[in-house]
Copies of this chain bind each other. A is one copy, B any other.
């Protein structure tokens, strides 16, 4: 009765490979706070970063570690999670190339979350100290950083609102739409979320249990809104999912 399907995920997106200098520059230019820089300036900034590679499911840093580095995703996906004492996890964000992570607060020098790779990744790292001198050097960067941070703040506010006012089904519908917009790629099976994504990942994003997430996903599949298999999801009817997430 249950019929799951083998993965349609693109291997190139998941597997590790070297970050070419070209790719580095391109992704650095995508980071909003470097967007205003000229090409020579960008090259100088690029030289302040060094590249690092991780394989899937590695922890880049742990919550409460001393925060010395700022990082930018170049290739692959990184998830930020909060861990509780009892081992429960809350998935705060899933980052794609061009997004930064780390801690920008000058006073608190520990990471407030754990960063773990969702695929093989290539990231750029810079010491906080060096980043701060970039901030001094290019004042446009500080303002852009502030902007990015304010937006993250807003998206967390929205997340809190959904956690406290919406039932699980609507929360998951919303999460699927958001992931579709961010990681979606056209594919014969639908809008494929180009990312290994387990029921537990979804549950940790929605603030529910893996079993409940599975039940909701089964229902969505029943209603032909999505197609899903082990560690992957494709969206068939985004408008209807969006309606589910906000109706009533």
Contact = CB atoms under 8 A, between A and B. Distances in A.
Main secondary structure of the interface of A (DSSP, over half): helix
A82 B142 contact: no
Interface in A97-145: 103-108, 112-113, 132, 135-136, 139, 142-143, 145
Contact of A112 (B154, B163, B246): B154
A160 B80 CA distance: 13
A161 B163 CA distance: 10
Given A165-B84, A165-B88, A143 B135 contact: yes
Interface in A74-89: 82, 84-86, 88
9 contacts: A85-B246, A86-B165, A88-B165, A90-B164, A105-B147, A108-B154, A139-B139, A145-B146, A159-B160
A149 interface: yes
Given A143-B142, A248-B86, A105 B163 contact: no
Nearest to A113: B157
B157 A105 contact: no
A146 to B, nearest CB: 5
A153 B153 contact: yes
A105 B153 CA distance: 10
Nearest to A107: B147
Contact of A142 (B146, B156, B164): B146
A180 interface: no
A150 B105 contact: yes
A98 to B, nearest CB: 16
Contact of A106 (B82, B147, B154): B147
B92 A151 contact: no
A102 to B, nearest CB: 10
Given A105-B154, A153-B156, A156-B156, 12 more contacts: A90-B160, A90-B164, A90-B165, A104-B147, A105-B147, A105-B150, A107-B151, A112-B154, A139-B139, A149-B149, A163-B207, A164-B207
